Amino acid sequence: MSENVENLETGPAWASALGVVAIVLGVLLVAAHGNEWLTQYTIPAVGETVSELPPADCPQDELEEEGLTVAQCEQMVSNLQSIRVSRPDWFRSSQLVVSAVGTGLAFLSILVGAALVNYRRWAAGAAVVVFGALVAVDVVTFITAVQTGPILRAMYLWDALLWFCLHLMMMLGAIVGAQHEQTA
């Protein structure tokens, strides 16, 4: 008989609710950290290429295809240049590492979320560790962005703060859940 033929009896409600929140946010976070990694990988540092990007190339057919005005097309290059010149030398490599670690932890939070919904005995303890590590990643991201300048702060701080609050709530929920299980 296959292992997945076992019955699906329910665990405590807190574990089911916290688990599904961890899974949904984990899926979004994999995408968010993955995209941050892609961003840093794709946009080279100023020192690696010319310091000033050439003028935008905005052929009419491409503008029509993408529904852009010439001003928007030119602004795309300006936006890229503002990111490049706003990044301190260490920022790109730092973000590549932090986003790679964040992607791995986000995958782990999906697994831990599934374990919570399925109510494995080890799930609450593992959730405290994984959600705590995600809080740490958010703090590092926040501090990293604070050390840059107003342009990158505007891009990163709000997201980092939002994720920090979400992961903090999840970690505290897991701590209370774990305590509840110990006393039950």
Partner 1 sequence: MANKAYRPTAVITHWLIAVSIFFLFISSWWMLALPLPGPEFQFRAFPFQLHKNLGITLVFLLFLLLYVRLRHRPVPEQSPAMKPWMHKLAAIDHVILYLVIFACCISGYISSSFSGWGTTLWWTVDLYHWGWEDEDLNMLFSDIHLWTCWALLGLIAVHISGAIYHAFGNDGIVRRMLRL
**7 vs 182, beta carbon nearer partner 1:** 7
Q: Does 175 help bind partner 1 (rule: CB under 8 A)?
A: no
Phi, psi of 9 (to 5 degrees): -65, 150
> Is 57 among the residues that bind partner 1 (CB under 8 A)?
yes
Cβ closest to partner 1, residue 73 vs residue 140:
73
Least distance between partner 1 and beta carbon 60 (Å) = 11
- For 131-151, the DSSP string reads HHHHHHHHHHHHHHHHTS-HH
Query: Under the criterion CB under 8 A, does residue 2 sit at the interface with partner 1?
Result: yes
Instruction: Tell which positions 132-171 bind partner 1, by CB under 8 A.
Output: none
| Nearest distance in Å: CB 143, partner 1 | 23
Phi, psi of 50 (to 5 degrees): -60, 145
Mind giving me the DSSP string for 106-138? HHHHHHHHHHHHTT-TTHHHHHHHHHHHHHHHH
How far apart, in Å, are the Cα atoms of 127 and each of 5, 17, 22, 32, 47?
26, 13, 9, 20, 41
Q: Name the site residues for partner 1 (rule: CB under 8 A).
A: 2, 4-13, 16-17, 19-21, 23-24, 27-28, 30-32, 34-35, 38-39, 41-43, 53-54, 56-59, 61-63, 65-66, 68, 73, 76-77, 79-80, 107, 110, 114, 117-118
